């Protein structure tokens, strides 16, 4: 990789006097934190009192036909976290396809905070998509798996030593309903998210003897919330060449609860999985999909 080496940037800590939260005294590492679900989860963790290491790629990738999270968006997430009461926030740009970048992120967290209690594996791409399975190119297939599956594995590999030594930790892999059911014209994404669910189950068994929990979080169709700057539905609509409004109506009609999922709905589940309230939950798949996969 030719990208510049990651550097850490401290964000001033929150004002004193806030009551301790569910993650007070703990450190959470969030990938894909610049916007969308990653931002919503980071803010929820901040509100719960966690120290935070936030990372995102900060640049676009060849082969991904939409803009990825930017450095400015990552910085904005950090400021939102500070406002919500995070103990301290560090941002580090990184590409989860790059082992050296991943190691730099984990080292920055350990150097600054001394431990990592939560890993939220949220970094991922939803494209290239919108093709029948035999029209996907080898490069498109490899890119999807490298980011969405191998990226999560690289992060687990990098934090595994620290978590097993401290004999505690919670790893939350953000998968999708595409990890549980199939979707037409999304073979690469469906394969990647199914694989991420499988990685979750296997890692949970490997790490359980050390007190480390691993769970998968499977959101349904998440609304493109302006505050979170998410673009999941708009990108899927683009890849299928349909208007965004029409695509949203299709998803709402398919939801038993007849509404799209909000980023904060996903963040609430991610907070529960990170906290002691789920201390006996590991190897599980938690859906936040309005009942979509229950049909």
HSE at residue 172, side-chain half, CA atoms within 13 A, is 35
Q: What is the CATH number of the domain that holds 152?
A: 3.40.50.720
Better-scored residue on pLDDT, 232 or 190 = 190
Classify 71 as helix, strand or coil: helix
Q: What digits encode the pLDDT tens for the residues 70-110?
A: 999 999 999 999 999 888 999 999 999 999 999 999 999 99
Does a structural domain hold residue 63?
A: yes
Is cis: bond before 128, omega within 30 of 0? yes
2: in domain: no
Contact call for residues 53 and 109 (beta carbons, < 8 A): yes
Q: Is 208 inside any structural domain?
A: yes
- How many domains does the chain fold into? 1
The one catalytic residue in 45, 66, 183, 189 is 189
Backbone angles phi, psi at 262, to 5 degrees: -90, 150
Range of the domain at 258: 9-13+21-290
| 130-166 pLDDT, tens digit each | 899 999 999 999 999 999 999 999 999 999 999 999 9
Q: Is 1 within a domain?
A: no
Instruction: For residue range 191-242, list pLDDT tens digits in order.
Output: 999 999 999 999 999 999 999 999 999 999 887 877 778 777 777 776 677 7
Q: Identify each DSSP E strand in 32-82 by its residue range.
A: 51-56
In a domain, 3, yes or no: no
- Residue 8 pLDDT grade (very low, low, confident, very high; cuts 50, 70, 90): low
Beta strand 89-93 pairing with 9-11: antiparallel
**Known active-site residue 189:** yes
| Residue 149 forms part of a structural domain | yes
Q: Are 228 and 41 in contact (CB under 8 A)?
A: no
Cα 241 to Cα 131, 176, 182, 186, 247: the distances in Å are 11, 21, 19, 14, 10
- Check pLDDT > 70 for residue 12: no
**Distance in angstroms (rounded) separating the CA atoms of residues 295 and 288:** 14
Q: What is the pTM of this model?
A: 0.91
Asked whether residue 295 is domain-assigned, the answer is no
């Amino acid at each position: 990789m030719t990208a510049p080496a990651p550097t850490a940037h401290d964000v001033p800590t929150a004002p004193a006097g806030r009551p301790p939260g569910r993650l007070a005294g703990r450190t959470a590492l969030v990938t894909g934190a610049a916007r969308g679900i990653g931002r919503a989860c980071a803010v929820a963790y901040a509100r719960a009192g966690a120290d935070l290491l936030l990372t995102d790629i900060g640049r676009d990738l060849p082969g991904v036909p939409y803009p990825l999270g930017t450095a400015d968006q990552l910085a904005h997430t950090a400021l939102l976290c500070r406002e919500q009461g995070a103990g301290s926030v560090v941002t580090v740009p990184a590409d989860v396809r790059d082992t050296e970048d991943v190691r730099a992120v984990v080292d920055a967290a350990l150097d600054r905070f001394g431990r990592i209690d939560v890993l939220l594996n949220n970094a991922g791409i939803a494209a290239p998509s919108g093709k029948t399975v035999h029209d996907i190119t080898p490069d498109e297939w490899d890119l999807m798996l490298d980011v969405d599956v191998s990226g999560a594995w690289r992060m687990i590999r990098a934090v595994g030593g620290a978590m097993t030594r401290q004999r505690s930790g919670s790893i939350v892999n953000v998968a999708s309903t595409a990890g549980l059911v199939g979707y037409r014209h999304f073979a690469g994404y469906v394969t990647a998210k199914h694989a991420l669910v499988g990685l979750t189950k296997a890692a949970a068994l490997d790490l359980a003897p050390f007190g480390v929990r691993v769970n998968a979080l499977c959101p349904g169709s998440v609304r493109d919330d302006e505050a979170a700057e998410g673009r999941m539905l708009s990108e899927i609509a683009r890849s299928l060449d349909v208007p965004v409004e029409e695509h949203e109506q299709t998803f709402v009609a398919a939801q038993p609860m007849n509404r799209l999922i909000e980023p904060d709905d996903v963040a609430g589940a991610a907070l529960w999985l990170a906290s002691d309230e789920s201390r006996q939950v590991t190897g599980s798949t938690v859906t936040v999909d309005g009942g979509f996969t229950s049909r």
